Amino acid sequence: MNPRRLYRRFASEVLVLPGRTTVLAVCLVLLILPLFHRHPYTLRVLSLTFIFAIFAASWDLLSGFVGQLSLGHAIFFGVAAYTSALLNLQAGLPPLVTIPAGALVAVLMGLVVGIPCLRLKGQYLSLATMGFPIILTGLVYLFSDLTGGELGVSGLARLGPTRLSEYYIALVLVLGLGLIMWKITDSKVGLVFHAIREDEITARASGINTPLYKLLAFCLSGFFAGISGGLYSHFMRVAGPSTLSVLTSFQPVIWTIFGGVASIYGAIAGTFVLYPLMEFLRVAPELRTLIFAALVVLVLRFMPEGLTPWFIDRVESECPRCKEHNAVTRRTCRVCGAPLGRPSAPGAGPFQPGKGGRVAG
Amino acid sequence: MLTDILITTLINASVYAMLATGFSLIFGVARIINLAHTAFYMLAGYFIFSFTTVLGLGLLPAMLLSIALVVVIAVLSYRILIDPMREHEAAVLIITVALAMVFQELMLVFYGGHFRSVPQLVSGYVTVLGVRVSSQYVVTIGALVAILAAVWLVLMKTRLGLAIRATAQDREIANVMGMDVSLISTVTMAIASAQAAAAGALVAPLFILEPRMWLYPLTIVLAIVVLGGIGSLKGSIIASAIIALSETLVTFLLPSGAFLKGAFSLGVMIVVLLIRPEGLFGVSFEGER
Amino acid sequence: MVTPPEASNLLEVRGLTVCYDTAMLLNNVSLSVGRGELVGLVGPNGAGKTTLLRTVAGLVRWEKQSKQGTRAGNITIAGEVRFDGERIDSLPPHVIARRGLVLCPERRRPFTELTVADNLMAGAYLQKDRRALRETLDMVHQMFPVLKQRARQISGTLSGGEQQMLAIGRALMTRPRLLCVDEPSTGLSPLVKKELFAKISEINRRGITVLLVEQDTALTLSVCARSYVLSHSRIVASGARQDLLADQTVHRSYLGLQSP
Ligand SMILES: Nc1ncnc2c1ncn2[C@@H]1O[C@H](COP(=O)(O)OP(=O)(O)OP(=O)(O)O)[C@@H](O)[C@H]1O
Ligand SMILES: [Mg+2]
């Protein structure tokens, strides 16, 4: 394809929509940021943000898309963190091997959690999943010879030789895996996930093997959460019981819901905003969590659907005819040419009484 | 030792039952998973601590006052932060977690992370069935059981109780039958938070206060609610007994493995769920909306 | 052109328009129900009958308020509803119920996990006078003896017909002045259906005004002194049985009855 056509295609796919342009701009800024600013602390915070964004997106895949609202997502994160740590320390394997291995164990954990949860619906599932990481924490303490108990496993190999390399590894992974997850939700499988969330019984009645798809969702989500868990343990060079804590389970939920559920990019955006904010609040260590929690409450109170839907609502509008999105500045739809502008509800105007056929008296 | 096991089980079971029935009530009527529920339990303990040590009130007035204060806080947070968001289920979930965190952090700011304790309501021992038991334990168990029974009676025998149960079944129809469902939800929130606060107030003299003390009971309460069947009060109470017993057994029979009590109880929950997915006492009707 | 509401009418609906997002569910609907009348409302599926009753009972406004800020909350309501001469279109459902207008909903919707007796008592929520409550309960039991026999059964386990009787009984327990019944005969055998219609006439004879929404046009027209035909969100015809039957177009296009 010649470059001009390529550019035109790019312009018509990406630049026309403020939402997509913003995503592109953020990616570019993050890619070139170290050229201007490479303070180790900034790089560290951003790398952790990227790692947690993968975690949040994996939660969104399972809970936002398939509607299996998990409150125990730390189990995937923690099991992979411990697996990578132990493989690295005991078997001397490099991160390139231990992280995928941790992710595979997290996939198995997806089966372990998913199979009992297959029979649970909605709220039951959320409440039940919360227990799994706690059970695993119990086991971690039980086998403290191996797991180091309270202190965890420490002294792992670094993710990369320098902070900068770690930054790029994490950045490339969050962009790549984020794209993969987004593609999954956009595919036929994603459609099935949607169907299961909206109405599982009907989905089942249309011949979809819903248990299989739900297990698949658990495993996929476990896989991505596992990668982030492995990355985390190598980045921090320690895997401890905090990776399995209730708070670790709540974090992706908070980030994702704050960013906007069922969109993957919402989860990533939520993490990008909230994780650095939490770090920044270290200036007031006493009040850090308090301010954070209060902010989350207030923001959600006024943007109940989360940050990204709110933002997209401001900068884009939906074509009433073809449902394609358009920049809010456009007058006509870029796809079908229908006139845009705020759709006025037909009932809003004045009505002439007596025009409704034969009005009874 | 047998009496110790029995007493500990009874105390824990009645505390869990108080917390779980309240959680279940508010879940049934207002359709929210209130993850801040056990934070009310924690708040009550701290309020008593400040009323007794700072204001120098007697323990009993301090308890009553702190329960009232917790109810006010709970009702205000419900009306201002939670109720307007009902339609955004996910946002409600996070708001309740964040609320619990706010409460926890406020306690940390005001009282620090040290362990605090509250004086006992009564001292001395009584002899029950030939065994010497601390009076405080007997009073606590008695009060908890009495409150549970009172809540049960209100729910089953009064007009308000019927309205609460009807609203839990179908808000819209309850509304059409003349019930002010938003008032009823608020009242339910008040009852549920009063239960949590009362549980916290009654066990405060026995336990140690600590700002994170809401987290562990929360996980256990969720397990109990799932185990007993969401919305079933009887189920919640029996499941509380099961979980409390399994916890106590682990603590007493495996003193070095006390950290396993949570894991073990949750394991019990998962095993039960594998056998009965709707919980012990959950009911399900075909074609229900 | 707007006529003053007739004081004698118990229910007076004027120019009612309801839109869900961009779909118009009711288009300038006007209708009235006089005191003591038994009025029918018929029309094809999806005409807007249920929506009309839900709007009158205040449920649509309530839905709009509780879903405010979400897409599903984009509901527009215009027009006025008067009950006993007073505007009720801005009142919440429970206040409307207190005034004496009660809805017996589509698809029965008993409080599934409560017993039959508790369901009836829930209907009597507004009844503070114990004697009057007893009397109403006796009347309902007499009208539907099944409800007495099955008092302790969990209502979710009742058969469809029994649930329907329960729903009507529950609505009667509020001692309504206007009873709006939405499709009471769904899923009933023809014989039971006839009985049910007889019961509804009986309720009406006891002095309760009834607005009856039904699919079975022939039966409805036969028991109701006056009926409205709703189609595609508008009232297209109204009048007594003979008038409606005499009109050929109405007959063919809306009622689907065999020509006499
Ligand atoms: N919440 C809603 N949002 C959008 N459309 C709705 C909603 N509720 C009802 N409708 C639509 O409005 C139309 C009228 O519905 P309504 O239930 O009032 O019909 P009806 O006359 O009672 O039909 P039936 O005889 O089948 O019960 C239908 O086309 C329905 O799909
Ligand atoms: Mg209908």
Is B12 domain-assigned? yes
The pLDDT of residue C25: 92
Alpha-carbon separation of residue A269 from A60, A187, B179, C9, C70 (angstroms): 12, 22, 43, 59, 22
What is the domain extent for residue A126? Answer: 40-245
Query: B83-131, pLDDT tens digit by residue?
Result: 888 888 888 888 898 999 999 999 988 888 778 777 777 777 777 777 7
Q: Given CB atoms, is B180 within the 8 Å cutoff of chain A?
A: no
Please report where in the chains the tokens 């492995």 appear, as a residue: A230
| C190 Cβ contact list (under 8 Å, min separation 6) | none
The verdict on a CB contact (< 8 Å) between B169 and C112 is yes
Q: Is C191 in the pocket of ligand 1 (CB under 6 A)?
A: no
Q: Alpha-carbon distance C206 to C202, whole Å?
A: 6
| Contacts with C122 from chain B: Cβ below 8 Å | 162-163, 166, 174, 177, 179
Helices and strands (H, E) in chain C, number of each type: 11, 10
| Beta strands at C209-213 and C226-231: parallel, antiparallel or unpaired | unpaired
Is B263 inside a domain boundary? no
- Total domain count, chain A: 1
Classify burial at C64, counting beta carbons within 10 Å of its beta carbon; exposed 0-12, middle 13-18, buried 19 or more.
middle
Is A98 in contact with A88 (CB distance < 8 Å)? yes
Kindly report the protein residue whose alpha carbon is nearest to atom 10 of ligand 1.
Answer: C25
- Rounded to whole angstroms, how far apart are CA atoms A6 and B89? 43
Q: In angstroms, what is the span from residue C53 Cα to ligand 2's centroid?
A: 9
CA A95 to CA A102: how far, in whole Å? 10
- Residues of C whose CB is below 8 A from B181: 94
Which residue from C minimizes the CA distance to B167?
C111
Q: Measure the CA angle with vertex C36, ends C30 and C40; round to 5°.
A: 45
- C257: which DSSP letter? P
Residue A317 falls inside a structural domain: no
User: Which residues from chain A sit within 8 angstroms of residue B104, using beta carbons?
Assistant: 289
Cα–Cα distances (Å) from B255 to A148, B50, C145, in that order, read 20, 33, 62
Residue nearest to atom 25 of ligand 1 (CA): C45
Burial class (CB in 10 A: 0-12, 13-18, 19+), A324: middle
- Site to probe by mutation for ligand 1, drawn from C41, C50, C228 as the one with most ligand atoms within 8 Å of Cβ, is C50
Contact yes or no for A246 and B215 at CB 8 A: yes
In B, minimum Cα distance to C119 occurs at B166
Does A295 fall in a domain? no
**pLDDT at residue number C6:** 54
In a domain, residue B248? The reply is: no
Strand partners, A238: A154
3-class DSSP state for residue B3?
helix
B180 vs C59, C94, C113: nearest CB: C94
- Domain assignment present for residue B224? The answer is no
Burial class, A19, CB count within 10 angstroms (exposed 0-12 / middle 13-18 / buried 19+):
middle
Any domain includes A44: yes
Position B280 in a domain: no
Strand order in the sheet with C226-231: C101-104, C178-182, C209-213, C38-42, C226-231, C234-240
What span, in angstroms and rounded, lies between the C-alpha atoms of A354 and B140? 71
**Which chain A residues are closer than 8 Å to B279 by Cβ?**
124
In a domain, B217, yes or no: no
CB contact under 8 A, C114 and B169: yes
CB contact under 8 A, B179 and C57: no
The count of other CB atoms within 10 Å of the CB of residue B110 is: 10
pLDDT exceeds 50 at position B17? yes
Per-residue pLDDT tens digits for B131-176: 777 888 888 899 999 999 999 999 999 999 999 999 998 999 999 9
**Domain ranges within chain C, ordered by starting residue:** 8-255
Is A73 part of any domain?
Answer: yes
Q: Residues C146, C72: contact at Cβ < 8 Å?
A: no
Sign, CA dihedral A12-A14-A20-A21, equals: negative
Ligand 1 centroid distance, CA of C24 (Å): 10
| pLDDT tens sequence for chain C (260 residues) | 444 555 578 999 999 999 988 788 999 999 999 999 999 999 888 889 999 999 999 999 999 988 877 777 789 999 999 999 899 999 999 999 999 999 999 888 899 889 999 999 999 998 888 899 999 999 999 888 889 999 999 998 888 888 988 999 999 999 999 999 999 888 778 888 888 888 889 889 988 999 999 888 888 888 898 999 998 899 988 888 888 877 776 776 666 655 44
Whether B144 is covered by a domain: the verdict is yes
Give the residue, by CA position, lying nearest to ligand 1 atom 29.
Answer: C46
- Reported ipTM: the value is 0.88
**Cβ neighbours, 10 Å, residue A161:** 8
CB contact under 8 A, B33 and A127: yes
- Select the residue from A197, A261, A290, A298 to test the B interface by mutation, using most B Cβ atoms within 10 A: A290
CA distance B289 to chain A (A): 11
B230/A123 CB distance under 8 A? yes
Q: How many CB atoms lie within 10 A of CB A9?
A: 11
Residue A297 within a domain: no
Q: Is residue A289, in this structure, part of any structural domain at all?
A: no
CATH architecture entry for C8-255? 3-Layer(aba) Sandwich (3.40)
Does a structural domain hold residue B228?
A: no
Residue C127 gets the label, from left (phi > 0), alpha (psi -120 to 50) or beta, of beta
Helical (H) or strand (E) element with A313: helix A307-315
In whole angstroms, give the CA distance from residue C184 to residue C103: 11
Identify any residues that bridge with C29 across adjacent strands, giving them in sequence order: C16
- Tell me phi and psi for residue C212, to 5 degrees: -110, 120
For residues B35 and B219, what is the distance between their CA atoms, to the nearest angstrom?
Answer: 9
Interchain pair B169, C113: CB under 8 A: yes
Strands C23-34 and C9-20: antiparallel
Per the structure, the count of domains in chain B is: 1
The reply to whether A354 touches chain C by the CB within 8 Å rule is yes
pLDDT tens digits, one per residue of B175-234: 999 999 999 999 999 999 999 999 999 988 888 888 888 988 998 998 898 888 877 788
| Residue C45 Cβ contacting ligand 1 at under 6 Å | yes
C126 contacts in chain B (CB < 8 Å) = 177-178
Domain span at B82: 2-212
Check: CB of residue C105 under 8 Å from CB of residue B173: yes
